[in-house]
Chain A
């Protein structure tokens, strides 16, 4: 793999707000055509990190390149080739769909603007609604409009900050199909999300908490970062069972999922001992593969200990 294949290549990126390290020396390399997922609790520094990548903020420490441009000095060039979709819908609600797209196309000085706007409307299937005000659109359509606006200047890198928050499952699925299509055409995508199913659709993942990157890699790699063992249990009186299990050595998480409990811990042997102590034959116990969410919650619990 040559260096030019790295669309994002940064090391030690740090941002301090009011003496607090919001982003704490993060290294990241993302290859061309890759869909890279950013996960982590609210306030973990994902948005701040993205803002540094797209030239909105200057890192306090660290260095690197985005699309081959220096993130500290060549922010103007970066902005011209990046599409950034903010967490909140940030186009003009009192402008029509076409007016919004036309405005963004003008800002980026897109050649043959009228045709570019038409193409963009067509691809989104918004031709018939082009005169509608953006403020009247539903959440799903707003998101599609935002994506279209991000793409109008044919960027090489797409930075999406929680693009699917508040969007229904069907629209979410269509959105992801579109992202995969774009990535297949060579666009690189960095996306933040809280949805585990979306995380699993990324080529690679990173997990952030308290400004630090706690895990990264493919789904399998992230799962194996924490050697978590998980059991499910079903049967009567799950609430009392959960209360008994919590706090026992080896038991890190007891989470209710419908009519089941997920019980997990990092030390498989200790966890089994704890389970054996409460096992009385009235419940059905099964060992399962740990889910991404279990892994993340475990990572976060560990990080909190480090942080304190």
Chain B
């Protein structure tokens, strides 16, 4: 018999608690799955998706000189792996727009007198315009251009032209960092926080608010009254939209007055689009609340959504630095598009037409999430 005095620590009692915890862990399938799923996801995201040396950045070429030297230069840029030459344009306005919308990361301008100046040994200037909203995305590529400048024409400059090689770099790359000329990381991070904070609180809070109502049994009571299910849902969401706007405003105030983030675009437009984003996240929260049986599960599911939203959206790491599959997942997340909208409006001064390509994915996400959420929500009633 193990008749120990109650005061002493007992291995039996300790073991009883440990055993019970394991049984309960096993019972809560969702929590159990999350305990395995979240580390796996972190492994995949941190291990494979994240790359702080983004390559193959979409680049537009505006070449006024199509001569052999210019072609060699273009080929060298492509071979560096940092630049993916996706567009060619003759119009300066179009090039600017590509940068503004975010279709390209760089514009490379080869001037008309490129070959002529080169041959005269006058060190022609090649202007590289960069979308520097995210300094981490452009930095490595810009560094790479220095090496290119020195060696690119080595093979072309032979014979009598070899004298040009002796000079310290036959080409002069001028970098023009648009939107964030001083490469201030905060300009990129602080507006991005708006999307991250909204994702976190909106999803968690709605998932919890509805799950709590069910867990405590108050939902049954509520549904026995004449209140309609949709009234319950919308009524629960509206207060959190207000909360979302308060959070957004706090971040914007801090961005302006603490971090000095430039705000070039229209704030009303930003507030308007934020509604879409907030609604999209609330819809996700509702869907989670219909899947979760208790509040812990609801929080875990929200975390499961939050993790890729922060890592794959371009908030923490350059979006274009990720492998294609990760970019695809990122493209499906509302935060990815919202980040581009916020940065676009604040830093680039984008208007409705420039952010339109990011609005429709938000709308689509909202429609899908709402449909699933409402459908699932109805099923839980009967």
Contacts and interface: CB of A to CB of B under 8 A. Distances in A.
Interface of A: 54-58, 76, 79-80, 82, 84, 86, 88-93, 104, 107-108
B226 A84 contact: no
- The 5 A-B pairs with the shortest beta carbon distances in the complex, nearest first, are A90-B221, A84-B224, A90-B217, A88-B217, A79-B226
Contact of A86 (B220, B227, B382): B220
16 contacts: A55-B224, A56-B223, A57-B382, A76-B226, A79-B225, A84-B221, A84-B224, A86-B221, A89-B217, A90-B217, A90-B220, A91-B218, A93-B216, A107-B225, A107-B226, A107-B227
A89 B218 CA distance: 8
Given A57-B382, A58-B382, A79 B224 contact: yes
Contacts of B226: 76, 79-80, 107-108
Given A91-B221, A107-B226, 9 more contacts: A57-B382, A79-B224, A79-B226, A86-B217, A86-B221, A90-B220, A92-B218, A107-B225, A108-B226
Contacts of A89: 217
Contact of A104 (B216, B220, B225, B382): B225
Contacts of A58: 382
Which bracket fits the contact residues of B? 10 to 19
Contacts of B225: 79, 104, 107-108
A86 B218 CA distance: 9
Interface of B: 216-218, 220-227, 382
B224 A86 contact: yes
B84 to A, nearest CB: 56
Contacts of B218: 90-92
Contacts of B227: 107
B309 to A, nearest CB: 30
A108 B227 CA distance: 8
A154 to B, nearest CB: 14
Contacts of B220: 56, 86, 90
Contacts of A86: 217, 220-221, 224
A20 to B, nearest CB: 16
Given A79-B224, A107-B225, A108-B226, A90 B382 contact: no
Contacts of A80: 226
B225 to A, nearest CB: 5
B320 to A, nearest CB: 47
Contacts of A88: 217
Of B220, B222, B382, which is in contact with the most chain A CB atoms at under 10 Å from its CB?
B220
Nearest to B381: A56
Contacts of A90: 216-218, 220-221
